[in-house]
Amino acid sequence: MTDQKIIELINSSLIEEFELETEKMTPEATIYEDLGLDSLDIVDMVVVLENAFRFKIREEDGIRDIRTLGDIHRFVIGKKQSLEKKGD
């Protein structure tokens, strides 16, 4: 899966699952202020990403440091890369 495909899948999943507006989905968009999610939504977001990409996210992966949509993109791309490396 290319990085672009990963980003598209992240955006489309979040738009559908959190009923977000497409035009707000810029990499700079902050999760809390711009996208309007809150702490209650974070576990839901973890589950959405786990289901979309078929991996498990753990606390030590740094999910709590995520601030922007771009952070999510980088997080998932990094996670997939490290899993692929492990699979080699």
- Which parts of this chain interact with another protein (CB under 8 A)? 16-19, 40-41, 43-48, 51, 56, 58-59
CA distance 87 to 73: 21
Hey, what are 23's tokens? 């035009």
* Closer residue to another protein in complex, CB, 64/85: 64
Q: How far is the CB of 56 from another protein (least distance, A)?
A: 6
Exposure of 79 in the CB half-sphere (CA atoms within 13 A): 21
Q: How far is the CB of 43 from another protein (least distance, A)?
A: 5
* Closer residue to another protein in complex, CB, 2/86: 86
Residue ranges of alpha helices (H) inside 19-87 are 39-53, 69-87
